Amino acid sequence: MSRVGKKPIPIPDNVDIVYDGNQILVKGIKGELSRTLDPCVRLNIKDKNIYVEPTDNTRRSRAIQGLTRTLIGNMITGVVRGFERVLEINGVGYRVDVKSDVLTFSLGYSHPIVYKLPKGISVTLEKQNRIILSGIDKELLGLTAAHIRSFRIPEPYKGKGIKYAEEEIHRKVGKSGIK
């Protein structure tokens, strides 16, 4: 059995779980999330805990057991606390503007990049070079942050571009003239 998959998932008091066949619905303070589960696993809900069990003893079932346990844990955390991802924009003249749910980036190209946020993701700006994305779906939040980062990936010489706040850019030494 999967080491991660064996651990029970505690259900907080303010969260409702509806499990029907291969469909799970998690409702909490911040919203609700649903997911279709793989047929290789089944859930056993008892004593305010969720246990993810494989249907057979194949390698795939054991792998899906750990994955499913983590996905359901993230769903519960999302509807209780939510998730947050911070992006930083580095570069002279690089900036972002927000109008409702549309981000407009100036990243040194000949044109501004306009990006509409997906439903369920909200944004706040600190200055014009720090973007804070938040939402209850960790998977959607990560995809949105990765898509925004792909507009201008940080380059290793000057560090210009969009990077995650916790990301460390390994800088390279540029050319040096003959002395």
How is the chain split into domains, by residue range? 3-80, 83-164
CA-only gyration radius of the chain, Å: 21
Whether the domain at 3-80 and the domain at 83-164 fall into the same CATH topology? yes
Which range among 4-8, 96-100, 137-141 shows the weakest confidence by mean pLDDT? 4-8
**What are the two backbone dihedrals, phi and then psi, of residue 52, each rounded to the nearest 5 degrees?**
-100, 125
Question: Averaged over 157-165, what is the pLDDT?
Answer: 92
State the pLDDT at residue 62: 86
Mean pLDDT of the chain: 92
Q: What is the CATH number of domain 3-80?
A: 3.90.930.12
44 φ/ψ sector (left φ>0, alpha ψ -120 to 50, else beta)? beta
At the top level of CATH, the class of 83-164 is alpha beta
- In this predicted structure, the answer to whether residue 68 has a pLDDT above a threshold of 70 is yes
DSSP 19: E
Widest CA span in the chain: 74
pLDDT value, residue 128: 81
pLDDT at 174: 80
At 179, the pLDDT band (50, 70, 90 cuts) reads: low
User: What integer pLDDT is reported at residue 1 of this predicted model?
Assistant: 56
